[in-house]
């Protein structure tokens, strides 16, 4: 059968652009394409190689099975692209890089999602209730934690944005933020990304539309916060937003676009504001670190950043730039004062914390580098995904930081 060399060449070139030359993912993709061509030339009917140690002779029962018809090069490419998460029907003319779902690919350092998380255990008298919000940009469900100590009094509100493949229950279990909120007497709302918006339930931080005030997902997340504020006696001076990975990148965007709503931002393993406009630039930012030249809107709010220095999914340089970008957005002419301290968790990770303050001592930001940690919520519970129990406890430290910027 004749091989459509031009089509395979286009796929190969596209994969180079997608992953960057020399990347492990690029090498895997290139090798798969090479194997596919070689298999087609040999008359094989499957782009997957046989298992190791498989006999050249088919088992008797297998010999009786109907023989699969040879695939055309286009069918082989469709099957290959389907394994990469591309939509069915994508063909030679429809091969469009931004059509890839960012985190449907098996990126280095990513762990597979755990089975569906059970609802978090609640303190006696506490509630974890569902809700939904819709505006011109679309709608999202959410879950709201109401601590047992709530009896009508005003309380702070924290918006928690989960990472890819996660959901509110999983994120609440893993971060244990509900337990912290129970102690601190705080509402916590967990917006849920819809599978229809992103196949891997990632917040779309890399889309230009989702980086604008009054548009896309930032408007929905801000709308969820406002809906909770309108329904419950939230202390308007103590509303915060935090997130992990894609949720951390979106927390940066939401906090920058709505500084009148959010008093501070927490970012774990995230990326700077508007650090990508499409899939190729997103993968480049995740792999190598976002450009230091990007600017967030002026008038930013205090920010606390956590990042493991062994993170192979989101380069730790992104944590540095999130912090630098946040400081630039808060500059008012006077230089910030910085102090550095280090420590370690018993039988856990070492860390270095850099604290930035205004000349009057008020907080600007904290940057925690967790030595030896990967792409996981620091101090989290094994009952959720993407967690590292060896600490430090990011949930408690975030809440402590938020209290320092409160009234």
Residue bearing the bigger pLDDT, 344 or 106: 344
**Nearest CA-CA partner of 202 in 270, 155, 108:** 270
For tokens 């997608």, name the residue. Answer: 18
Q: What is the mean pLDDT of residues 360-378?
A: 95
**Nearest CA-CA partner of 306 in 248, 359, 260:** 248
Q: What is the mean pLDDT of residues 174-197?
A: 97
Q: What is the pLDDT of residues 289-337, one digit of tens each?
A: 876 556 778 778 999 999 999 999 999 999 999 999 988 887 655 556 7
Q: What is the mean pLDDT of residues 3-9?
A: 49
Q: Please report which confidence band the pLDDT of residue 5 belongs to, taking 50, 70 and 90 as the band edges.
A: low
- In this prediction, residue 23 carries a pLDDT of 40
Helices (H) and strands (E) in the chain, counts: 11, 12
* Beta strand pairing call for 234-244 and 264-268: parallel
Q: Residue 164 has what DSSP assignment?
A: T
Q: Please report which confidence band the pLDDT of residue 358 belongs to, taking 50, 70 and 90 as the band edges.
A: confident
> Where is average pLDDT lowest: 91-95, 108-112, 198-202?
91-95
Among left, alpha and beta (phi > 0; psi -120 to 50; other), residue 341 is: beta
Q: Is the pLDDT of residue 105 over 50?
A: no
Q: What is the mean pLDDT of residues 182-195?
A: 97
User: From CA 65, how far away is CA 45, in angstroms rounded?
Assistant: 14
- In this prediction, residue 111 carries a pLDDT of 41
* Beta strand pairing call for 303-308 and 363-371: parallel
Q: Please report which confidence band the pLDDT of residue 388 belongs to, taking 50, 70 and 90 as the band edges.
A: very high
User: From CA 249, how far away is CA 206, in angstroms rounded?
Assistant: 9
User: From CA 76, how far away is CA 33, in angstroms rounded?
Assistant: 10
Q: Please report which confidence band the pLDDT of residue 128 belongs to, taking 50, 70 and 90 as the band edges.
A: very high
DSSP codes joined into one string, 36-88: HHHHHHHT-S-SSPPPTT--SSPPHHHHTSPPPPPPPHHHHHHHHHHHTTPPT
- In this prediction, residue 38 carries a pLDDT of 45
- In this prediction, residue 296 carries a pLDDT of 77
85: phi then psi, degrees, rounded to nearest 5: 95, 10
DSSP codes joined into one string, 227-291: HHHHHTTEEEEEEEEEEETHHHHHHHHHHHH-TTT-SEEEEES---TT--SSHHHHHHHHHH---
Secondary structure class of 101 (helix, strand, coil): coil
Percentage of the chain surpassing pLDDT 90?
A: 60
Q: What is the mean pLDDT of residues 115-140?
A: 89
Q: Are 326 and 270 in contact (CB under 8 A)?
A: no
Instruction: Locate 63 and state its tokens.
Output: 């010999």
User: From CA 54, how far away is CA 68, in angstroms rounded?
Assistant: 19
User: From CA 226, how far away is CA 236, in angstroms rounded?
Assistant: 10
Q: Is the pLDDT of residue 53 over 50?
A: no
Q: Which residues of 316-333 are buried (b: 16+ CB within 10 A; e: fewer)?
A: bbbbbbbbbbbbebbeee
> Where is average pLDDT lowest: 200-204, 368-372, 402-406?
402-406
- In this prediction, residue 328 carries a pLDDT of 85
Q: What is the mean pLDDT of residues 335-345?
A: 88
Q: Please report which confidence band the pLDDT of residue 121 belongs to, taking 50, 70 and 90 as the band edges.
A: confident
Q: Give 85: exposed, middle or buried? Use CB within 10 Å, 0-12, 13-18, 19+.
A: middle
Q: What is the mean pLDDT of residues 56-67?
A: 40
For tokens 């819809």, name the residue. Answer: 194
The winner for highest mean pLDDT among 4-13, 21-30, 79-88, 243-252 is: 243-252
Helix, strand, coil percentages, rounded to 5, for the chain: 35, 20, 45
In whole angstroms, what separates CA 88 from the centre of its chain? 25
* Beta strand pairing call for 377-378 and 387-388: parallel
- In this prediction, residue 117 carries a pLDDT of 67
Q: Are 294 and 325 in contact (CB under 8 A)?
A: yes
Q: What is the mean pLDDT of residues 270-291?
A: 90
**Which element (helix H / strand E) includes 400?**
helix 394-404
Among left, alpha and beta (phi > 0; psi -120 to 50; other), residue 102 is: alpha
Q: Please report which confidence band the pLDDT of residue 3 belongs to, taking 50, 70 and 90 as the band edges.
A: very low
Instruction: Locate 99 and state its tokens.
Output: 């059509």
User: From CA 142, how far away is CA 131, in angstroms rounded?
Assistant: 5
User: From CA 328, how far away is CA 332, in angstroms rounded?
Assistant: 9
- In this prediction, residue 200 carries a pLDDT of 94
Domains and CATH numbers, the chain: 5-47+70-99 (no CATH), 127-404 (3.40.50.1820)
User: From CA 216, how far away is CA 255, in angstroms rounded?
Assistant: 14
């Amino acid at each position: 059968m004749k091989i459509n060399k031009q089509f395979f060449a286009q796929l190969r070139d596209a994969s180079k652009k997608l992953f960057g030359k020399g990347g492990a993912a690029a090498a895997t993709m290139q090798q798969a394409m090479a194997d596919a061509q070689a298999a087609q030339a040999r008359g094989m009917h499957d782009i997957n190689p046989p298992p190791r140690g498989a006999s050249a002779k088919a088992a008797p029962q297998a010999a009786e099975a109907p023989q699969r018809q040879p695939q055309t090069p286009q069918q082989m490419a469709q099957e290959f692209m389907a394994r990469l998460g591309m939509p069915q029907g994508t063909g030679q003319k429809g091969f469009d890089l931004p059509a890839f779902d960012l985190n449907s690919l098996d990126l280095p350092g990513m762990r597979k999602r755990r089975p569906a998380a059970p609802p978090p255990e609640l303190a006696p008298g506490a509630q974890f209730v569902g809700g939904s919000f819709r505006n011109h940009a679309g709608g999202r469900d959410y879950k709201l934690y109401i601590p047992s100590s709530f009896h009508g009094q005003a309380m702070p509100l924290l918006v928690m944005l989960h990472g890819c493949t996660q959901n509110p229950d999983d994120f609440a279990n893993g971060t244990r933020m509900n337990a912290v909120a129970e102690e601190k007497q705080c509402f916590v709302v967990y917006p849920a990304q819809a599978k229809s918006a992103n196949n891997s339930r990632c917040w779309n931080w890399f889309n230009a539309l989702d980086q604008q005030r009054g548009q896309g997902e930032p408007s929905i997340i801000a709308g969820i916060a406002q809906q909770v504020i309108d329904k419950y006696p939230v202390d308007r001076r103590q509303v915060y937003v935090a997130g992990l990975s894609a949720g951390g990148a979106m927390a940066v965007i939401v906090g920058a676009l709505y500084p009148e709503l959010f008093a501070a931002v927490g970012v774990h393993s995230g990326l700077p504001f508007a650090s990508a406009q499409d899939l190729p630039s997103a993968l480049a930012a995740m792999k190598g670190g976002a450009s230091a030249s990007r600017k967030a809107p002026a008038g930013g709010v205090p920010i606390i950043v956590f990042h493991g220095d062994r993170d192979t999914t989101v380069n730790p340089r992104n944590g540095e730039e999130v912090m630098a970008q946040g400081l630039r957005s808060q500059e008012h002419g006077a230089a910030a004062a910085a102090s550095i301290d280090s420590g370690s968790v018993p039988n856990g990770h070492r860390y270095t914390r850099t604290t930035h303050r205004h000349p009057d001592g008020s907080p600007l930001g904290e940057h925690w580098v967790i030595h030896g940690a990967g792409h996981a919520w620091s101090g989290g519970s094994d009952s959720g995904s993407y967690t590292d129990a060896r600490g430090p406890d990011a949930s408690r430290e975030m809440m402590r930081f938020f209290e320092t910027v409160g009234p």
